[in-house]
């Protein structure tokens, strides 16, 4: 009998449409000979299953079940592909823990920690991992332009502390841009991170581990045509993504070892993707850890899987079966 798999998508952030695209990617990759697969769309308290005829029925949140052709179906596994709240910050993970339904991502603690960029970076700094200088501003508090210049310098990045897909992110070059950039970021998150600019090569590296294997994927080098790797660069083709990255063998090996170590330090589950900047002298600087990375056919992880000579179908089967 096939396991019933929910691809859980949507969410309550600006990344809602990105999540739906990732869900379609997962649906196309997953082994439907092995699993009975449905996409579950969530927005607020509207949780609906998309049926094969494209009609939608409501989820019973008491047990994460639904009715199809007068028969009750309860999901065996949740593949969470919500970018942003509630799927990337531990909220949905707590719900599934209460129902004893296994899921694809990190647990509550690791999800919450990795979603908070400032907390994550300073936590990992305690393990000797290099990060950019940064500070955080909460809604209701103010910081002067001069304080930003004195503590962080210009240029700098001002971004939502919790969020992704570069929504609300600004590369700030002048003092006059600081306050508008903070307000823009506040539209996405009640906390704003102000981070020093680092000149170098931007890269990203995916990884997953199961009870029987460890896989660190080939590294991707990101060459944006814009000021930074913004939404247009990520989703509208305004970047070059080179896999494997054009790095020295020594740097490549150190990035892969660091990615594996971060996975273990945080107690990650499923597929993660770690973003870095390589600065002068081959220094590896952490940018962030993504615990629900994008999964469209052109996203980084599928690119890296192909470069490794693997199939996404087999990777997703690994992730699912590891929980049983």
* Shared-domain flag, residues 292 and 260: yes
* Shared-domain flag, residues 192 and 248: no
**What is the span of the domain harbouring residue 30?**
3-104
For the record, the structure tokens of 165 come out as 């897909």
208 closest CA partner among 275, 263, 267, 286:
263
Given 196, 213, 237, the domain boundary residue is: 196
Which CATH number goes with the domain that contains 150?
3.30.1490.20
Distance in angstroms (rounded) separating the CA atoms of residues 268 and 116: 15
Distance in angstroms (rounded) separating the CA atoms of residues 182 and 160: 9
* Shared-domain flag, residues 15 and 29: yes
Q: Is the pTM of this model over 0.85?
A: yes
* Shared-domain flag, residues 154 and 94: no
* Shared-domain flag, residues 250 and 261: yes
* Shared-domain flag, residues 175 and 84: no
* Shared-domain flag, residues 256 and 116: yes
Per-residue pLDDT of the chain (324 residues), as tens digits, is 899 999 999 999 888 999 999 999 999 999 999 999 999 999 999 999 999 999 999 999 999 999 998 999 999 999 999 999 999 999 999 999 999 999 999 999 999 999 999 999 999 999 999 999 999 999 999 999 999 999 999 999 999 998 655 678 999 999 999 999 999 999 888 999 999 999 999 999 999 999 999 999 999 999 877 665 445 445 555 678 999 999 999 999 999 999 999 999 999 999 999 999 999 999 999 999 999 999 998 899 999 999 999 999 999 999 999 999
Which CATH number goes with the domain that contains 249?
3.30.470.20
Phi and psi of 286, rounded to 5°?
A: -70, 135
Which CATH number goes with the domain that contains 21?
3.40.50.20
* Shared-domain flag, residues 32 and 68: yes
Q: Identify the residue whose tokens are 């330090």.
A: 265
* Shared-domain flag, residues 83 and 12: yes
Cβ atoms < 10 Å from Cβ of 256: 16
Q: Identify the residue whose tokens are 């509208």.
A: 236
* Shared-domain flag, residues 312 and 209: yes
For the record, the structure tokens of 209 come out as 């581990």
């Amino acid at each position: 009998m096939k396991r019933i798999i929910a691809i859980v998508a949507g969410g309550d952030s600006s990344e809602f449409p990105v999540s739906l695209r990732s869900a379609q990617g997962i649906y196309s990759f997953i082994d439907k000979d092995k699993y009975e697969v449905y996409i579950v769309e969530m927005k607020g308290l509207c949780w609906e299953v998309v049926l094969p005829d494209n009609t939608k029925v409501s989820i019973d949140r008491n047990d994460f079940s639904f009715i199809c052709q007068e028969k009750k179906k309860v999901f065996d596994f949740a593949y969470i592909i919500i970018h942003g709240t509630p799927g990337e910050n531990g909220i949905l993970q707590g719900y599934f823990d209460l129902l004893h339904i296994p899921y694809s991502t990190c647990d509550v603690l690791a999800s919450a920690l990795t979603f908070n960029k400032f907390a994550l970076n300073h936590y990992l700094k305690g393990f000797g991992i290099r990060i950019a200088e940064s500070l955080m501003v909460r809604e209701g508090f103010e910081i002067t332009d001069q304080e930003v210049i004195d503590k962080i310098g210009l240029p700098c990045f001002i971004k939502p502390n919790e969020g992704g897909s570069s929504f609300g992110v600004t590369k700030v070059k002048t003092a006059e841009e600081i306050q508008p950039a903070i307000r823009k970021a506040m539209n996405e998150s009640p906390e704003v991170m102000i981070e020093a600019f680092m000149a170098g090569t931007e890269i990203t590296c995916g990884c997953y581990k199961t009870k029987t294997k460890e896989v660190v994927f080939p590294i991707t080098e990101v060459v944006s045509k814009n000021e930074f790797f913004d939404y247009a660069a990520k989703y509208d083709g305004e970047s070059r993504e080179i896999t494997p990255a054009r790095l020295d063998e020594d740097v490549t090996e150190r990035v892969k070892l660091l990615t594996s170590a971060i996975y273990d330090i945080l107690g990650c589950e499923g597929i993660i993707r770690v973003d870095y900047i390589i600065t002068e002298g081959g220094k590896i600087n952490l940018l962030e850890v993504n615990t629900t990375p994008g999964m469209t056919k052109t996203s980084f992880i599928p690119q890296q899987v192909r470069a490794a000579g693997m199939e996404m179908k087999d990777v997703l089967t690994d992730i699912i079966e590891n929980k049983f």
